[in-house]
Amino acid sequence: MSEDAQDLGITESKSHKPGEWYAEVVQKADLADYAPMGGFIVTKPRGYALWEGIQDALDGWFKETGVDNAYFPMFIPESFLEREKDIVEGFDPEVAWVTQGGHDELEERLAVRPTSESIIAPFMADWIRSHRDLPMRLNQWCSVVRWEATETKPFFRTKEFLWQEGHTAHATDGEAWEEVWTRLDQYARVLEEVLAVPVLRGKKPDHDKFPGAETTTCVEALMPDGKSVQSATSHHLGQSFAEAFDITFADEDEDEQTAFTTSWGLSWRALGAMIMTHSDDQGLVLPPTIAPTQVVIVPIWQADTKDDVLDYSEGIAADLETAGFSVELDDRDERNPGFKFNEHELNGVPLRLEIGPNEVDDEEVTLVHRPDSEQTVADRDGIVDAVDAHLDGIFEKLYDAAATNLAENVREAHSPEEILGTIGRHGGYVKTPWCGDEACETVIKDEIAAEIVMQPVDEQGGDSAGEPVRPDADATCGVCDEPADEIAYFAKSY
């Protein structure tokens, strides 16, 4: 290996040092850098392009389902935040405050938004007059700040992070539930169909729901190191925010009614989950559905074959571009093919086409899959269809590997020792009947920092909270052995 190639390559191992490995992939694949202030990152163009891929998908689905984008200030007056005391209590230690503007002390502190319910709700209250103004569905793409004193992990743990937050108001509880499930479905879809990351869906235990919410629903993804990532949440806020902020409307009989509200958000943590799920010791691995470059063509020539190889390669690049694929023809003179292979592997380009004099003579193309180096030869004729099929195949490989990992790592356990032992040995999820008492979670949390990350719910997608999935009638809590009528998934989490 040349010195260049060593600088380029990943030196940490995913299985042995997942934390160091992840940090190295993010930096060497040019996704992000660390900012000078602890807890902040700089998102580089390659990283931002991935976020835009998520935005494009979600934003389109939001708009198809009645959501309008808007933008509210990043500063929230303290008095606004205090109108919903639950939010303040939930976020108090994590709020960053502005106390001075220019040379002057501010009369009222301004919070840097940790989330925007308390600035959006008062305006909704103003804008909503009658039942004809409902439902109102607003979304904003923005960043929020939560001053957590934890180690920085790009896209997972940063004080400022990018997300979208949706805020809606409805005339009935049922419509609010439909909203909650619609967004949760869209989050699951973006994870599964765009990022190739299978998820579990359900709700958070009551003691862990969003401050002020009636119910917090979530999608959870399992990482290869056995920890769960909360990838998005969709909250049914009941009428608590509407009451605190006077979101009322005149119904058809001109009677005043209080609205039901929801809020829902997906952050760039979903991106971190995707990077961690698929990438390997060679670097970044991306599903073709989100890769900014889906196909790279690496021509391999000698002086006497260069013109023919380049001509042939350009023709293929043009065909693929016309068909709508994003293609890069890497015809750099100063780099040899081996260097190019390594670089595109590091950057996660899903499919590589290798074209040398033999391919030109035989009117063929060699295709190499990024995730597992599987190599096939396809005819020049029909290369567009072949590339299409191979990209689909690469997506399937990634999704299937993650789905297998998820399926193999949901285990049942029926005593505290078994729960602790199973998570300690294998990681993953432990599914167990639960009495509903937070104290039983604490027993597990204190020992190995695993908690209840999700509770499965039936009849999701309807206009109600859905029925919790129940254990057998005679089931007892996996921790305290008292009668249990709920099911809990314990896991360590990010």
As measured in angstroms, the least distance from the Cβ of 472 to Zn ion is: 16
Question: Residue with CB nearest Zn ion?
Answer: 477
Which of 169, 197, 285, 440 touches Zn ion (CB under 5 A)? 440
Question: Listing from the earlier edge strand, what are the strands of the sheet with 136-145?
Answer: 68-69, 136-145, 160-170, 260-267, 228-236, 215-222, 200-203
Instruction: Verify binding: residue 479, Zn ion, rule CB under 5 A.
Output: yes
> Looking at 20-28, 136-144, 446-454, 473-481, which segment touches Zn ion (CB under 5 A)?
473-481
CB-count burial class (<10 Å; 0-12, 13-18, 19+) for 108: exposed
Nearer CB in complex with Zn ion: 30/437: 437
How many of the other CB atoms lie within 10 Å of CB of 289? 20
| 419: CB partners within 8 A, 6+ apart | 413, 430, 432, 444, 450, 478, 479, 490
Nearer CB in complex with Zn ion: 297/477: 477
Nearer CB in complex with Zn ion: 351/477: 477
| 48: CB partners within 8 A, 6+ apart | none
> DSSP state, 191?
I
Nearer CB in complex with Zn ion: 106/443: 443
> Looking at 178-186, 243-251, 388-396, 472-480, which segment touches Zn ion (CB under 5 A)?
472-480
| 404: CB partners within 8 A, 6+ apart | none
Nearer CB in complex with Zn ion: 412/437: 437
> Going by DSSP bridges, is the β-strand pair 104-112/375-379 parallel, antiparallel, or unpaired?
unpaired
> Looking at 48-56, 130-138, 339-347, 478-486, which segment touches Zn ion (CB under 5 A)?
478-486
Which of 74, 384, 469, 480 touches Zn ion (CB under 5 A)? 480
Instruction: Verify binding: residue 477, Zn ion, rule CB under 5 A.
Output: yes
Contact yes or no for 356/300 (Cβ under 8 A):
yes
As measured in angstroms, the least distance from the Cβ of 423 to Zn ion is: 17
Distance CA 129, CA 493 (A): 43
| Cα three-residue angle 12-17-21, rounded to 5 degrees | 45
Instruction: Verify binding: residue 329, Zn ion, rule CB under 5 A.
Output: no
Cis peptide before 135 (omega within 30 of 0): yes
As measured in angstroms, the least distance from the Cβ of 207 to Zn ion is: 13
Distance CA 331, CA 306 (A): 10
| 16: CB partners within 8 A, 6+ apart | none
As measured in angstroms, the least distance from the Cβ of 200 to Zn ion is: 21
- What tokens were used for 318? 């043009």
Instruction: Verify binding: residue 435, Zn ion, rule CB under 5 A.
Output: yes
As measured in angstroms, the least distance from the Cβ of 481 to Zn ion is: 7
Nearer CB in complex with Zn ion: 57/440: 440
Helices (H), 144-267: 173-189, 240-245
As measured in angstroms, the least distance from the Cβ of 409 to Zn ion is: 23
As measured in angstroms, the least distance from the Cβ of 233 to Zn ion is: 25
Nearer CB in complex with Zn ion: 285/435: 435
Question: How many residues touch Zn ion (CB under 5 A)?
Answer: 6
> Looking at 62-70, 238-246, 288-296, 432-440, which segment touches Zn ion (CB under 5 A)?
432-440
As measured in angstroms, the least distance from the Cβ of 456 to Zn ion is: 18
As measured in angstroms, the least distance from the Cβ of 454 to Zn ion is: 17
> Looking at 234-242, 276-284, 306-314, 474-482, which segment touches Zn ion (CB under 5 A)?
474-482
Q: Which residues bind Zn ion (CB under 5 A)?
A: 435, 437, 440, 477, 479-480
